[in-house]
Every structure is written in structure tokens, then in C-alpha cells.
Amino acid sequence: MNIRLRRIASLCLAALLAAVTLLPGHAQEKKRFQTFGVAFYNLENLFDTINNNGKYDHEFSPEGKNRWDGAKYRAKLANLSYAISQMTTKTTPMGPAVIGCSEIENITVLRDLVAQPAIKDWNLQIVHHDSPDARGVDVSLLYNPRFFKLINVTNHRLTIPDKPRFRTRDQMCVVGLLGGCRVGIIVNHWPSRRGGSAESSYLREAAARLSRQIADSLLQIDPNIGIIVMGDLNDDPSDKSCAEVMGAVKKAKDCHEGGYFNPFWEKLDKGIGSYIYRGQWDLFDQIIINYNLLEGCGGLKFHGAEVLNKEFLKQPDGQYKGYPHRTFSGGAWTNGYSDHFPTEIFLVKEVK
């Protein structure tokens, strides 16, 4: 090779090396993440039309006061499935990876729900357990098998020593792999405020104590597991059950190893709620996470939280404009969705 050709070859090699040095540097700065949605939705009395649970279930039968018939049931399923179908974002185009649910009568209504055209293609799987609740409602978990792999399920009964006839929803603990990371999801529907908030507080404190025991026992088995405590807690984040007994703090910076963080506390401080009573917003529908999911549990890390108060879920007009568009109002069927807004958190994991 003559001198001129050698010089041209050297210049070309130098330019190529410069390009290779610059481009990967920029490429390495660009990280890619996969997002997983974890949602909760109180489905507000999702009952079928068959009376098989005595007095309360009679309300949701064709002969009951709600005149609950096949047409209303099918409308309820269509509405709820549409609401779930809209739980999508640019980073979660197939909706949440898991959806905790409450106020469902049995596994049959869940099978009917996931078979609705709006969400049928998601192939949502069902985890359900019949609780001893006096109203005949249970909690459950729906999950997309593309993103969540079920490992095991345990159910935990809340008992009150001085109330032997007390019956409420069992707490469901679902352990699985979310994006390949081990998580424990505890689905709740804590006792109501019937009889007064202060007077019934001890029941929700007992429920919070049980949730905390379940969560801490999971951590004893696997100190690296991610914990998610979700549900209609019938209390706000600042109430004793959540803030003291469960020990879920308001700010992530105040959550330490072994502790719990409630991303919905600051939402309520800003006036954002999931349920409204006598003109006052509450945020009963909460999703609490443990320290591991703040720091990065097997690469899975908390990225944000939302109350899904979309316009179509709101009462469009009248005295209750802006309230959740519920199924019944003042005893009249309103063909709505639920008296609660759904809530969701987002967890991200870097894609290598």
C-alpha cells in the first residue's frame, strides 16, 4: 500500500474510532424500563341475580328492593369492564398487571366480568376465596399472566375476642412474581364505619394489625420481598389504623428498612379522594408498599401513584355532579360504575 492510501486508511480508521467512542456513550445513558401497574377497585356490590345468601342477597334479586335483573347485571358488567379497560397508559398499554377487587359476591361474577368484550383479550386470571362476611361480599385478585406469575395464596380471618359473632371479609395474601420479582400482595376490605367512625375504629385497627402481621411474616421468610397492602380500608391514610398500627408513613424519605410507605396520604392532603360522604372526600382505597419497593426489590421500584378519577366515572350533572357515578342513588338505578374511584401505583424495572 502506498503512502497516500495508507494515510487515507488511517484517517478513516480514526474517524470510525471517534464515532464508536461517542455513540455508545450516548446509548449507555439511555436506559429502558418496563412499567407494571398495580390497581385496586371497589366494584360496589357486584352481585348476580340469584338469591343464595338470605336477606341481604335478596336485595340483588328480581324480587328485591333493587329489582336486580339480568339487564341491570349485564349493564353493570359492561360498565365495570369498560372502566377496567381504560386503566391503560402509554407504558401499560395492556392495563394493570394485577387488580385487587372488593365487594364481589362470588367467583361467578368475576368469571362473567373477565369474559366481557372490553377486557376479554387481556386473559385476566382470577384468585378468589369465599369469606364469612355477613353481607356476602369478598375480596379477590385479577392478574394478567403475561406479567404476574402466581406462587401461592393464603387467607387470613379477622377475629375480635369480645365479638364472637363478628364476621367480615378475610384478608387474601397472594405471593407471586411481578416482572420476575417476588412480591406479596395483601388484598383487604376492612370493617365499615357503621355505628360511627370513632366507635368502630377499633375494628379497623384490628384489621390493620392483622395486615401488618401478614406483611411482617412474609419479610421474615424473605427479607427482600416486595410487600403491597391494598384495599378499601374504610379509613384515611392519616387515621390510626393506617398511620400508627400499619405504620405507613406519608413521605418516602421517612420510610426506613422494615417500614411501610403510603403514597396516597399526600394525595388526600391535596383534596384528591376516592370516595365522598356528605360532601367530604376520603381516600379509603389505598395501596401501601414496603421499603424494599422504594429501594428497588430485585430491580422493581416504585414510580408513582394515581387516583383514577376519570371524567366518565363521575356523575355528569345534578346535585352530585363530580361524585363517583354509582349504580344506585337514592334507591334508584343510575346505571353507573361504582361509588369508589379505582387507585393504582406504578412499579418500574430496568430492561437490560
Label residue 188 by pLDDT band (50, 70, 90): very high
Q: What is the predicted pLDDT for the residue at 55?
A: 55
Q: Say if pTM beats, i.e. exceeds, 0.75.
A: yes
Q: What is the predicted pLDDT for the residue at 298?
A: 87
Does 108 or 27 have the greater pLDDT score? 108
Q: What is the predicted pLDDT for the residue at 52?
A: 72
pLDDT of residue 258 exceeding 60, the answer is yes
- Through-space distance between the first and last CA atoms of the chain, rounded to whole angstroms: 44
Q: What is the predicted pLDDT for the residue at 29?
A: 63
Taking a C-beta distance cutoff of 8 angstroms, is the pair 241, 235 a contact?
yes
d(CA 242, CA 209): 9
Residue 19 φ/ψ, nearest 5 degrees: -65, -45
pLDDT of residue 24 exceeding 70, the answer is no
C-alpha R_g of the chain? 24
Label residue 8 by pLDDT band (50, 70, 90): very low
Label residue 315 by pLDDT band (50, 70, 90): very high
Q: What is the predicted pLDDT for the residue at 61?
A: 83
Q: What is the predicted pLDDT for the residue at 22?
A: 37
pLDDT of residue 334 exceeding 70, the answer is yes
Label residue 331 by pLDDT band (50, 70, 90): confident
Q: What is the predicted pLDDT for the residue at 171?
A: 98
Average pLDDT over residues 332-336: 94
Query: In the chain, what are the domain boundaries?
Result: 1-28, 31-351
Average pLDDT over residues 6-34: 49
Label residue 56 by pLDDT band (50, 70, 90): low
Average pLDDT over residues 243-258: 97
Average pLDDT over residues 325-334: 92
Average pLDDT, the chain: 91
Choose among 77, 65, 98: nearest CA to 333. 65
Average pLDDT over residues 313-333: 93
Residue 234 φ/ψ, nearest 5 degrees: 55, 20
Average pLDDT over residues 209-220: 98
Displacement of CA 96 from its chain's centroid (Å): 9
Buried b (16+ CB within 10 A) or exposed e, 39-57: bbbbbbbbbbbebebeebb
Choose among 73, 75, 37, 79: nearest CA to 324. 79
Taking a C-beta distance cutoff of 8 angstroms, is the pair 101, 142 a contact?
yes
Q: What is the predicted pLDDT for the residue at 127?
A: 98
* CATH architecture of structural domain 31-351: 4-Layer Sandwich (3.60)
Q: What is the dihedral of CA 334, 58, 168, 185, to 10 degrees?
A: -50
Average pLDDT over residues 118-125: 98
